């Protein structure tokens, strides 16, 4: 009963407030309290009753005039579904940095919520998400595809039945918490160092697509608690101005504290970075979908260093063979694979003057006499080489 009285109090404040920000805050508090009640009872079923996509111009969070009629129609329909909730998820295309795109997708979701609230839609049922560029519905290599990805997805869910829970008896202080009741937070320390000097790197950025929190090092370290699920792989990316990116996959089986040290290779003339997490279809210049996270990390590194000239180099595995005896199609393949990465970077907003691409065939194999796959695999690669600096 106390929870219900609190919810009614929030509803009273909402109905008497003209402040949009206040109404949004009250909405999320309402959802939090409602979630606590339904978590203890039984949410039997939900049904998606309405869906809509609202599209945006490049780099913008203002609602297009052409989308207003869609929102007005949606608002009229929503007024008959107060017994449910409205989920909005903001998205962007792949142009720009991950952090900027995440922020842009958040602003787009908020813009749609603000408009619907102004249409007198009760906001206590809104659930907002924002995923930046992480979940495209079309190919970002074309303008038509990028336009499809600049969107806010709206789904309206009808709640069919909710059981109100029985009162819960509080546990005594002496009763120990079970494993299920422990918070899923991991005490973790990241230490970021220069690969050449072993010095700490200031202002390194740490990110992971499943974690919305933005992490930055202070004196080369970040220390805190992260909400992570057990037995779930997380891939953390590390970026800093003047350095190539790095990444580390973490899967935890318990919440014991841990420290992770990462080395970043400095961006200076002659240095190379092999993109180890790029995967091509066999004998083709087409990337497998699982290559996208590595491409995003590369894009972030290049955008952080706009004054650097880079060469994208393609390499193939043709061991125990003189370069003059390598079939022409294999030589061409090394060029085409380098060009694929070059084109992705340019299409993602990187200055074309920063980049060149070149195919090296089998002239720079890491293991030129390899006969086993574990030694041949490193020969197939795309490398980024620092050529100098823009004038």
Walk along the chain (391 residues) and give the pLDDT tens digit of each residue.
Answer: 444 444 444 444 544 444 545 555 555 555 545 554 444 444 445 677 788 999 999 999 999 999 999 998 888 877 655 566 788 999 999 898 888 888 999 999 999 988 988 888 765 567 888 889 988 898 888 888 999 999 999 988 776 544 444 545 454 444 444 434 346 799 999 999 999 999 999 889 999 988 877 899 998 999 999 999 999 999 999 999 999 999 999 999 999 999 999 999 999 999 999 998 888 887 888 888 888 999 999 999 999 999 999 999 999 988 988 988 888 988 899 999 999 999 999 999 999 999 999 999 999 999 999 999 888 888 889 999 999 999 8
Q: CA angle 143-149-151, nearest 5°?
A: 125
Pairing of strands 84-90, 126-130: parallel
Q: Is the dihedral of CA 62, 67, 72, 76 positive or negative?
A: negative
Map out the domains of the chain with their CATH numbers.
2-163 (3.30.1330.60), 182-264 (2.60.40.10), 272-389 (3.30.1330.60)
Q: How far is Cα 53 from Cα 167, in angstroms, rounded to an integer?
A: 41
Q: pTM for this structure?
A: 0.59
Report pLDDT for 183: 64
Q: How far is Cα 123 from Cα 86, in angstroms, rounded to an integer?
A: 9
Report pLDDT for 176: 46
Report pLDDT for 80: 58
Q: How far is Cα 200 from Cα 212, in angstroms, rounded to an integer?
A: 25
């Amino acid at each position: 009963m106390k929870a219900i009285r609190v919810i009614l109090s929030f509803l009273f404040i909402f109905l008497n407030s003209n402040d949009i920000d206040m109404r949004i805050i009250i909405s999320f508090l309402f959802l939090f309290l409602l979630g606590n009640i339904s978590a203890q009872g039984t949410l039997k079923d939900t049904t998606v009753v309405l869906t809509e996509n609202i599209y945006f111009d490049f780099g913008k969070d203002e609602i297009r005039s052409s989308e207003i009629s869609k929102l007005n129609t949606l608002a009229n329909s929503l007024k008959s579904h107060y017994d449910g909730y409205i989920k909005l998820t903001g998205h962007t295309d792949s142009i720009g940095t991950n952090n900027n795109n995440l922020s842009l997708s958040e602003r787009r979701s908020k813009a749609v919520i603000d408009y619907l609230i102004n249409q007198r839609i009760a906001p206590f049922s809104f659930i907002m998400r924002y995923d930046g560029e992480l979940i495209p519905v079309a190919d970002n290599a074309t303008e038509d595809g990028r336009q499809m990805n600049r969107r806010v997805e709206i789904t309206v869910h009808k709640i069919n039945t909710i059981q109100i829970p029985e009162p819960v008896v509080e546990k005594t202080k002496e009763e120990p918490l079970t494993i299920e009741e422990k918070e899923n937070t991991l005490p973790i320390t990241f230490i970021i160092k220069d690969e050449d000097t072993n010095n700490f790197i200031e202002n390194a950025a740490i990110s992971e697509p499943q974690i919305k929190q933005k992490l930055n090092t202070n004196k080369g370290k970040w220390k805190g608690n992260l909400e992570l699920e057990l037995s779930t792989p997380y891939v953390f990316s590390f970026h800093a101005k003047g350095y190539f990116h790095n990444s580390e996959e973490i899967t935890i089986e318990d919440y014991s504290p841990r420290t992770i040290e990462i080395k970043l290779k400095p961006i200076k003339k002659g240095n190379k970075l092999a993109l180890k997490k790029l995967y091509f279809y066999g004998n083709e210049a087409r990337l497998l979908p699982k290559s996208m996270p590595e491409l995003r990390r590369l894009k972030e590194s290049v955008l952080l260093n706009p004054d650097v000239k880079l060469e994208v180099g393609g390499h193939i595995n043709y061991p125990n063979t003189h370069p003059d005896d390598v079939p022409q199609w294999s030589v061409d393949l090394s060029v085409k694979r380098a060009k694929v990465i070059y084109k992705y970077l340019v299409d993602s907003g990187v200055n074309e003057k920063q980049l060149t691409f070149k195919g090296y065939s089998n002239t720079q194999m890491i293991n030129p006499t390899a006969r086993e796959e574990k030694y041949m695999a490193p020969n197939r690669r795309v490398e980024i080489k620092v050529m100098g600096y823009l004038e």
